[in-house]
Amino acid sequence: SIRGKSSMKSWTSITLTTVHKYMNTELPLFSITRKRKPDYEYGAPHKVFENKLHQDFKAESINQKWCTDFTYLFLTDGSKRYNCTIIDLHDRSVIASITDKHITADLAKETLQKAIDSQPGLDTNHFILHSDQGSPFTSKVFTEYCESVGITQSMSKAGYPYDNAPMERYYNTLKNELVNHHSYHSEKELYTSIEEFAYVHYHHERPHSYNNYKTPFEARYGV
């Protein structure tokens, strides 16, 4: 009909700018945008280790293989904060998570110490800690600490994020399900939110496909 053709013509003449305006003001719907990844500061490595996992991310027992990495986070004023997390590949449990102002070897070491302290009876001579070749993990401070407690380090090939895919997946989950949906005005607000996600939601409430859709807690303790 003429009316139908007229309506169709009006509909197809709407610009993307108009659609965007109505999505924002009438519905309201807003897209989630990711902030640009900040430039990474590389330092001269004290020691680099071979990749002992070779993308074999299965672990038959608890505390056999751990993975670790850093990610960046933002406060509403634009300032950056950095999170270091360690997960156990046996069940993808978050063993330790700490957020701070700077991406340093001390933060990596502090997170590792927190992870060790959280596992009573842990024999540090019998598990692998896998990371990328970031300067905190190749630093003298961190590598000598690992050596002092008998930890075997393993590292991804430079520029190959798939070599540490479980950590990439955890951080994607953290950002897609939490961080990208909120604005953080203070350190306390951000740090508390990240810890609650790691130790409560992710560990106890969120089913994981790797665990046949059991939570990490259920898979770890057989509940």
Residue 48 lies in a domain: no
Task: Report the distance separating Cα 136 and Cα 144, nearest Å.
Answer: 12
Residue 171 lies in a domain: yes
Confidence band for 23, pLDDT divided at 50, 70 and 90: low
Residue 42 lies in a domain: no
pLDDT at 159: 86
Same domain? 11 vs 83: no
Same domain? 21 vs 77: no
How many domains are contained in the chain?
2
| Whether the Cβ atoms of residue 184 and residue 76 lie closer than 8 Å to each other | yes
Per-residue pLDDT for 34 more than 50? Answer: no
Per-residue pLDDT for 2 more than 90? Answer: no
pLDDT at 62: 97
pLDDT at 99: 98
Same domain? 8 vs 82: no
pLDDT tens digits for range 118-151: 999 999 999 999 999 999 999 999 999 999 999 9
Per-residue pLDDT for 20 more than 90? Answer: no
Per-residue pLDDT for 65 more than 90? Answer: yes
Domain of 22 in residue numbering reads as 1-31
- The single-letter code of the amino acid at 189 is E
Same domain? 131 vs 211: yes
pLDDT at 30: 52
Residue 160 lies in a domain: yes
Per-residue pLDDT for 41 more than 90? Answer: no
Q: Which helix (H) or strand (E) holds 130?
A: strand 128-131
Angle between helices 140-149 and 105-117 (to 10 degrees): 20
Same domain? 99 vs 166: yes
Confidence band for 24, pLDDT divided at 50, 70 and 90: low
pLDDT at 13: 64
Residue 73 lies in a domain: yes
Same domain? 2 vs 91: no
Same domain? 71 vs 1: no
Report the CATH number that the domain containing residue 128 is assigned in CATH.
3.30.420.10
Per-residue pLDDT for 38 more than 60? Answer: no
Same domain? 174 vs 74: yes
- Model pTM? 0.81
Same domain? 13 vs 72: no
pLDDT at 189: 97
| Whether the Cβ atoms of residue 89 and residue 67 lie closer than 8 Å to each other | yes
Same domain? 94 vs 13: no
Residue 129 lies in a domain: yes
Same domain? 11 vs 101: no
Residue 45 lies in a domain: no
Confidence band for 173, pLDDT divided at 50, 70 and 90: very high
pLDDT at 6: 47
Cα dihedral 212, 215, 221, 223 sign:
negative
Q: Does residue 216 have a cis bond before it (omega within 30 degrees)?
A: no
Cα dihedral 166, 116, 102, 50 sign:
negative
Residue 57 lies in a domain: no
pLDDT at 45: 83
Q: Measuring CA to CA, which residue among 220, 138, 106 is closest to residue 98?
A: 106
pLDDT at 44: 73
pLDDT tens digits for range 82-116: 999 999 999 999 999 999 999 999 999 999 999 99
Same domain? 114 vs 24: no
